[in-house]
Amino acid sequence: MSGGGLRSFVARRLLLGVAQTVAVVLLVFTLTEALPGDAAVALAGDQPDPARIAAIREAMHLDRPVHERLADWALGLPQGDFGTSLASGRPVSQYIADGFGPTLLLAALTVALLVPIGFGLGVLAARHEGGLVDRLVSALTLAVYAVPEFALGVLLVTVFALKLGWLPPTAVGYGTDLLAHPAALVLPVLVLLSRPVCSLFRLVRAGMVDALASPYVAHARRYGVPGARVRYTHALPNALAPAAQQLARTIDWLLCGVIVVEALYVIPGLGTVLLNAVAERDVPVVQGLAVVFGVLTVVLNLGADVVARRLAPRAGVAA
Amino acid sequence: MTDSRRRTGRFALGVAIISVPLVLALLGPVFVGEPGARTVSFTLGDGHWLGTDFVGRDVWQQVLHGGRPVVLTALGAGVLAYLVALPVGLIAALTHRRWLEELLMRPLDVLIAIPSLLLILLVASVFTPGAVGLALLVALVNVPDAARLVRAAATEAAARPVVEALRLQGETWWRTAVGYVGRTILRTLGADAGTRLTGVLYLVATAAFLGVGVAPDAADWAVMVDRNRTGLFVQPWAVVVPALLIVALTTGTNLLFDAALERPGGRRVRKERRKEQRS
């Protein structure tokens, strides 16, 4: 396929990405409009004293018409102005800045380990297809694939922190400087890795098994190309395209996982900030975080689709 | 060992793993008996087989009660998702009006971009959904992907000569759509239902763990794991037993469907599914 095909695909995919971003912003904004009755009264919840209701109305500019509020809020977003918290009166951007470090560290560590482990295991299993290693790893990934992070997480804590005493059960008391306490990071990263590794492994393995059985690999072997070179320069690139797309779908899982893992191991990241805001019905903070998470997902999915398209133009990524 | 024997073995393993949580979830509430008086929280022994929980209730009784909400909410959400996805996907695939197809499918392309747990938490921050609300939410986040799959499978089936022949014979739209196309895509749908049920179970349990759609002291395996965590070092059974049951439930579902969907030849239906998703 010519470069023009890719370019028009990227243009269409960008357009979809813009539409998705607009939709995320609109959906998040609509949330306050969906509140039954007077939004300020509904949000005051258990403490419905007039002063607090007036403060909420003031903070969220509820006395102004809907379209003005939407315009103000949406135009503030690109400049990093996400509004102010109802609970503390601090700007929402400060909440995001505080929680960003730990979450980024968790996500970066997970992705950095996910790619080599997923690909390594996939290639290894495909190389010994039907052998003991393949059957063992395949069965294990099939079993772990479906397990919710919180259930796996508490079981790991029970074994490694309670029974064996090797690792700390939570990150309580370590603050945001988690790198100084690597032992506290072992279990969270392990739990975060559990589901994505399984799905990536299965895709790479399936792709490699297909590729290794293909005529061009047989041909390369007949020419006497060394086995390792056949595997890594001929077969692996063809197993990459579906895996690249899966890596993007993994973002959704990683995000769910980060929220659960931060709650489970008491890590002060964005997930914890989000859960606290949900519990306190601090709508501006929830909205700000939802926009950050939503736009991040849209951008990463877009990137992964373009990479997948570049690797395998014929596969036809939907756009 | 032959392929078919290995498949039967895995099938048996899946049934064995899933039977414990499933029997507990469905029959537990029948055999639970009268709740005893509340005692001290997080104790072991003392007439309580698995000890007591964070408010002093008997853990074994809570376990017997706690499976039903997880299983029923997940099943409800799965069925609801298909109730919406099937007509939307079928109509989008079979209609000759381009605008109708766009109208049905484009909003789903946009919705699919929003992470599922984020959407659930967003709604939970404004409303306080109950079990029915949670099932609706989980169904909603599953609709876009399910509808896309139905449309892809149905488009492929609708392009076959049989459909042209049915049209030439003057068969009704209903007979073509449901009688032929609907039946043709059943196998693909079966494969999808397996993975989807696993995903729905995951979401329902995770949302309950985060406190969405459940009362703070509900008898629910996921809520038990969350609320009894504070006493993990004193009374681990109140956390470990429900956590193990959730692991068995999700793993068993996945193993069972994987074994059931593998054809005797060894090629998976899931492979077909992936091919159809790409188109």
Substitution target from A141, A150, A160 for chain B, most B beta carbons within 10 A = A150
Is residue A139 within a helix (H) or strand (E), and if so which, with residue range? helix A132-144
- Name the residue facing B202 among A146, A264, A298 (closest C-beta): A146
Euclidean distance between CA atoms A165 and A133, whole angstroms: 30
Mind listing the pLDDT tens digit for each residue in B104-114? 887 887 777 77
Q: Which domains does chain B have, with CATH numbers?
A: 3-278 (1.10.3720.10)
Mind listing the pLDDT tens digit for each residue in B108-149? 877 777 788 888 888 888 787 888 889 999 999 899 888 888
Is 60 exceeded by the pLDDT of residue A318? no
3-state secondary structure of A84: strand
Euclidean distance between CA atoms A306 and B275, whole angstroms: 19
Mean pLDDT of A39-64: 72
Euclidean distance between CA atoms A257 and A197, whole angstroms: 13
Mean pLDDT score across all residues of chain B? 81
Task: Return the amino acid letter for B42.
Answer: F
- Judge: A151–B232 Cβ closer than 8 Å, yes or no: no
Size of interface A-B (CB pairs under 8 A): 143
Which residues of A fall within a CB distance of 8 Å from B250?
146-148, 151
Residue A47, pLDDT score: 66
Closest chain B CA to residue A139: B255
Euclidean distance between CA atoms B251 and A27, whole angstroms: 34
Residue A37, pLDDT score: 60
Euclidean distance between CA atoms B246 and B202, whole angstroms: 9
Q: Are B95 and B157 in contact (CB under 8 A)?
A: no
- Judge: B229–A154 Cβ closer than 8 Å, yes or no: yes
3-state secondary structure of A126: helix
| Residue among A249, A294, A247, A248 at smallest CA distance from A270 | A294
| Residue among B210, B190, B204 at smallest CA distance from B269 | B190
Q: Classify the complex by whether its ipTM is higher than 0.85, answering yes or no.
A: no
Closest chain A CA to residue B237: A158
Interface of A with B in 154-183 (CB under 8 A): 154-155, 157-158, 162, 169
Q: Are A14 and A306 in contact (CB under 8 A)?
A: no
Mind listing the pLDDT tens digit for each residue in A85-130? 777 778 888 888 888 888 888 888 888 898 889 888 888 888 888 7
Mind listing the pLDDT tens digit for each residue in B148-191? 888 888 888 888 888 888 888 888 878 887 888 888 888 888 87
As a whole number of Å, the CA-based R_g of chain A is: 24
Is 80 exceeded by the pLDDT of residue B35? no
Q: Are A195 and A145 in contact (CB under 8 A)?
A: yes
CA dist A311 → A1, A17, A122, A237, B276 (Å)? 11, 20, 18, 8, 19
pLDDT category at B200 given cuts 50, 70, 90 is very high
Is 60 exceeded by the pLDDT of residue B11? yes
- Give the 3-state DSSP-derived string for chain B, with helices as H, strands as E and coil as C: CCHHHHHHHHHHHHHHHHHHHHHHHHHHHHHCCCCCCCCCCCCCECCECCCECCCCCEHHHHHHHHHHHHHHHHHHHHHHHHHHHHHHHHHHHHCCCHHHHHHHHHHHHHHCCCCHHHHHHHHHHHCCCCHHHHHHHHHHHHHHHHHHHHHHHHHHHHCCHHHHHHHHCCCCHHHHHHHHHHHHCHHHHHHHHHHHHHHHHHHHHHHHHCCCCCCCCCCCHHHHHHHHHHHCCCCCHHHHHHHHHHHHHHHHHHHHHHHHHECCCCCEHHHHHHHHHHC
Residue B81, pLDDT score: 92
* DSSP of A162-178: IIS--S-SS-TTSTT-G
Residue A1, pLDDT score: 43
Give the pTM.
Answer: 0.84
Instruction: Name residue, tokens 């076959």.
Output: B160
* Nearest-neighbour CA in chain B from A276: distance (Å): 10
The residue with greater pLDDT, B96 or A288, is A288
Residue A232, pLDDT score: 78
Q: Which of A195-199, A310-314, B28-32, B160-164 has the lowest mean pLDDT?
A: A310-314
| Residue among B196, B214, B247, B48 at smallest CA distance from B134 | B214
Q: Are A272 and A262 in contact (CB under 8 A)?
A: yes
